[in-house]
Amino acid sequence: MTTRTAQISPLIIARVAGFLYLIQAILGIFSLLYVSSKLIVSGDVAATTHNIMASESLFRLGIVSNILVPTVGILYVLVLYKLLKPVSKDIAVLMVVLALLGVPIGVFNEFIQLGVLQLLSGADYLKVFTTAQLQALAYLFVRLHSYGISLAFIFSGLWLFPLGYLVFKSGFLPKILGVLLIIGGFGYLIDVFAGFLFPGSNLNIGMFTGLSEIFFLLWLLIKGVNVEQWEKRAIESA
């Protein structure tokens, strides 16, 4: 008598992936858009440092959120690996590797934010510096943090290429989503390298091409996958 190992439905896997990405997106919007818009005044050292100290709790919440984004992202990518592995295990592994390479950059980048708080803490050992010097150093750290985010975004773009390929070739997800994800990857990379090569360019192509990830998220949450085609792929890859 043979027993068949119970498998989790691909619909459940898809919706778990979508839910995890939704959490990641909310955390990212809170830290990168809301907190930054409330506290950071571009080019104004005094206003930025004043805002940070006046809303230290919000600044700390931003740090925690920035740490949770890659943490949740690890779970999201691993669930996607389980969902997309039947298409191509090698490409799925590449997707995971590229996604995870950005995690340590994102996490350790928050040490810079903690440095900002230390500089503005008023500790006795900092009294050798003037207030203006401490504020300037704190603002420098804020700027370095933004560059760290850009470095992490390189891998946010790169991992979308194997993800888009897997979605395009899957047969159980719409091909157009795969195309949009690949375009989204180019958008991130263009923004990052334009910022490095042409400071002050402020390109925001990724804000539009990044919508591909939102479409993908919504598809996973609402439609899931074509179970029949997924099972067919799983049998073929076994």
| Residue bearing the bigger pLDDT, 162 or 198 | 162
Residue 157's φ and ψ, nearest 5 degrees, are -85, -45
State which H helix or E strand residue 29 sits in: none
Non-local CB neighbours of 50 within 8 Å, separated by 6+ positions: none
pLDDT at residue 195 tops 70 = yes
What is the reported pTM? 0.88
Q: How far is CA 109 from CA 78, 143, 148, 152, in A?
A: 23, 11, 6, 9
Q: Are 88 and 68 in contact (CB under 8 A)?
A: no
Q: Are 148 and 84 in contact (CB under 8 A)?
A: no
pLDDT at residue 52 tops 80 = yes
Predicted confidence at residue 17, as pLDDT, reads: 95
Q: Are 10 and 230 in contact (CB under 8 A)?
A: yes
- Interval 83-101: pLDDT, tens: 999 999 999 999 999 999 9
Give the pair of three-digit tokens for residue 15: 């919706």
Q: Give residue limits of the domains in the chain.
A: 10-222
